[in-house]
Structure 1
Amino acid sequence: MLNSKAKLTALGTYVPERILTNADLEKLVDTSDEWIVQRTGMRERRIAAEDQYVSDLCIQAITRMINLYNVNINDVDMIIVATSTPDYYFPSTASRIQAHFNIPDTGSMDVSAACAGFAYGLHLANGLITGGLHRKVLVVGAETLSKITDYTDRTTCVLFGDGAGVALVEYDEDEGSFLAADIGTYGQGGAHLYRAGLSNYLDGEKLQDHGFIAQNGREVYKWAVRSVPTGIERLLNQADMKKEDLDWFVPHSANLRMIESICERSIIPLEETLTSVEFYGNTSAASIPLALQCGLDDGRLRHGQHVILYGFGGGLTYAGLLLKWSVPDL
């Protein structure tokens, strides 16, 4: 079990106002509500305005967290933003957050781990705090995937949405939230999920250089369903816990059918799983905090419960965390 001295103390989320329904998508591509729901479980997703970028979503989520939990972020000493859709290559999204809130003495960095990004950010925050280097860290997962989605491709355009979530992680000598971690990479599968950049080749394979997300959904599905259940076992073994000790499983909300398969192989009831997929779609790094918010909003997620967060996606990367939920009940 990890000897953590880092504790989650607040959570905030934000999604844009515009809703893109399955009926809306029927007007764009050859698809149907029945087809989308049957294969993904998705009904709606939120879409950022044309002049709304990922830093704007981050700022809204942080502002909501401040107002909801009455926390002070002026003494935050590190900002970590997980995103695949930054406003700029540089400056970092984290530095734009620092500028907006005028936080005086803080480091800032963006993390590129795609759909595993939020869990990676929390893992980094725990290490920085437990190691004594920092005491108060903002961890943000945010995406504007609609800006890199091809709305003529029915295999991808039905999947993705926009949103942001933030957690405040603070030093606590006696009660750390982090019980176990399972972090890894299958880089050989990188060509199954990508957006081309300065290089248009990956492991010798020519990439689609159209500026949009490209995905081999079948291969990503097979990898996730195979690897996540074994990762869950490793987390429980590290903490000397059984599945019966777990209150909630919070996977990346990639696709409800994928989550159902992971739950079936992991022997975790779907009723003990928190997701954000039905009304927000796949929001990559934002999907786990949005799912946590859903659990908080309806009173299912409570202080002191045991929760597994498990992100997986582009890279191919994965990051699982076993937490004792320490955000105060409101």
Structure 2
Amino acid sequence: MTIRAVITGVGHYLPKRVVENAEFEKTLDTSDEWIRSRSGIERRHFAAEGETTSMMGTTAARAALADAGLTAADIDAVIVATSTPDLTFPSVATMIQKELGMTCGFAFDVQAVCAGFIYALSNANAQIVSGQVKRVLVIGAETFSRIMDWTDRSTCVLFGDGAGALVLEARESAGTSEDRGILSVDLNSDGTYKDMLYVDGGVSTTGTSGKLRMQGNALFRQAVQKLAETAETAIAKAGLTPADIDWIIPHQANIRIIEGTAKKLGHAMDQVVVTVQDHGNTSAASIPLAMSVGRARGQIKDGDLCVAEAIGGGLAWGAVVLRW
């Protein structure tokens, strides 16, 4: 028998404040039409004062636990993907662990920017397959509104805040591509692309959190190619073909990137879970948010074969193939 990491629960949290594109027209040389045509984004959620990454992650985690019919006492580990922690340390994961009332197990953060949730899933899968744990809470949570340059119209209109979470549980399987759970993972990075997407501050440089900087056109060209390649690689590792995939669950950064990647994989957009119009780019939170919303909409059903892929600063990118 083979041990697989199976998703048994999902949940998400979005701040109450919804910011429509038109709101940016008051302070920037931009428009709703300009933002929609270039990104597909219509609105996003911004955290209120006092709403933190750990608070949003905790709420999403509780929703995922409820969906799985579990309590925090059933969880062995918490892994959080984030680039916007509450504090430099301790980790957001340990803060969530405390809020959930967990007094055992372990918790830590993963930082790979927008690809963070794929990296966190990979880590959680390895923990389960190795037998170290039986159940893991995997969370993506971000408050990117805290690192925006509100004078830069090319970036500040693209990002939003939120959190998504899922429960991964060890299940015995036959060891075939028909199994439920994570079937394959592909991870990549290349630090020579650092200047395409970065934050211009940090503890050992400026002593400040800094602001996000991005070379949008250059990043777009890299994103479509690399996302399609990593998805194809992960699908092949699982012994499958793109035609076998029921749903693409992409990082929600830009509708043109999503459309370009789907086209390269030979899929129509009605086979893609899309939430970018309502959430903007929520970085490491975007894939678990899309998973939770996709389930709530009735799109993703038990037994569906999915590929999730993301790319972020580093550059770091990767994909996971899983059967729900």
Judge same fold: TM > 0.5, yes or no.
yes
Query: Any conservation in 1 of the 2:4–2:183 contact (CA below 8 Å)?
Result: no
Query: Any conservation in 2 of the 1:275–1:288 contact (CA below 8 Å)?
Result: no
Residue in structure 2 matched with residue 180 of structure 1 by the alignment: 184
Residue in structure 2 matched with residue 305 of structure 1 by the alignment: 304
**Which runs of 4 or more aligned residues in structure 1 lie more than 6 Å from their structure 2 counterparts after TM superposition?**
none
Residue in structure 2 matched with residue 8 of structure 1 by the alignment: 7
Structure 1 stretch displaced more, 274-283 or 3-12 = 3-12
Query: Any conservation in 1 of the 2:56–2:141 contact (CA below 8 Å)?
Result: yes
Query: Any conservation in 2 of the 1:276–1:288 contact (CA below 8 Å)?
Result: no
The alpha-carbon deviation at position 176 of structure 1 amounts to 5.0
Query: Any conservation in 1 of the 2:147–2:209 contact (CA below 8 Å)?
Result: no
Residue in structure 2 matched with residue 114 of structure 1 by the alignment: 113
Query: Any conservation in 2 of the 1:29–1:152 contact (CA below 8 Å)?
Result: yes
Query: Any conservation in 2 of the 1:161–1:280 contact (CA below 8 Å)?
Result: yes
The alpha-carbon deviation at position 263 of structure 1 amounts to 1.7
Q: Distance in 1 between matches of 2:18 and 2:225?
A: 33
SS of residue matched to 1:58 = helix
Normalised TM-score (structure 2): 0.94
Question: For residues 40-61 of structure 1, what are the alpha-carbon distances to aligned partners after superposition, in whole Å with 9 as ceiling and x for unaligned?
Answer: 0000000000111100101111
The alpha-carbon deviation at position 4 of structure 1 amounts to 4.5
Q: Distance in 1 between matches of 2:318 and 2:260?
A: 18
Residue in structure 1 matched with residue 273 of structure 2 by the alignment: 274
Q: Distance in 1 between matches of 2:127 and 2:282?
A: 26
Residue in structure 1 matched with residue 202 of structure 2 by the alignment: 197
1:79 aligns with 2:78: yes
Q: Distance in 1 between matches of 2:233 and 2:65?
A: 35
Query: Any conservation in 2 of the 1:83–1:142 contact (CA below 8 Å)?
Result: yes
Query: Any conservation in 2 of the 1:4–1:176 contact (CA below 8 Å)?
Result: no
Unaligned runs of 5+ in 1: 201-206, 326-330
Give RMSD over aligned pairs.
1.5
CA distance 1:5–1:299, change in 2 (3 Å): same
Unaligned runs of 5+ in 2: 174-178
The alpha-carbon deviation at position 236 of structure 1 amounts to 2.0
Residue in structure 2 matched with residue 92 of structure 1 by the alignment: 91
The alpha-carbon deviation at position 132 of structure 1 amounts to 1.0
Normalised TM-score (structure 1): 0.92
**Number of aligned pairs?**
316
SS of residue matched to 2:172 = coil
Residue in structure 2 matched with residue 203 of structure 1 by the alignment: none
1:40 aligns with 2:39: yes
Structure 1 stretch displaced more, 68-77 or 268-277 = 68-77
Q: Which amino acid aligns with 1:219?
A: A
Query: Any conservation in 1 of the 2:83–2:111 contact (CA below 8 Å)?
Result: yes
Q: Which amino acid aligns with 1:37?
A: R
Question: For residues 201-231 of structure 1, what are the alpha-carbon distances to aligned partners after superposition, in whole Å with 9 as ceiling and x for unaligned?
Answer: xxxxxx9x88111111112111111211122
Q: Distance in 2 between matches of 1:67 and 1:224?
A: 35
Q: Distance in 1 between matches of 2:304 and 2:209?
A: 44
The alpha-carbon deviation at position 69 of structure 1 amounts to 3.6
Q: Distance in 2 between matches of 1:163 and 1:88?
A: 17
Q: Distance in 2 between matches of 1:199 and 1:59?
A: 29
Q: Give % identity.
A: 39
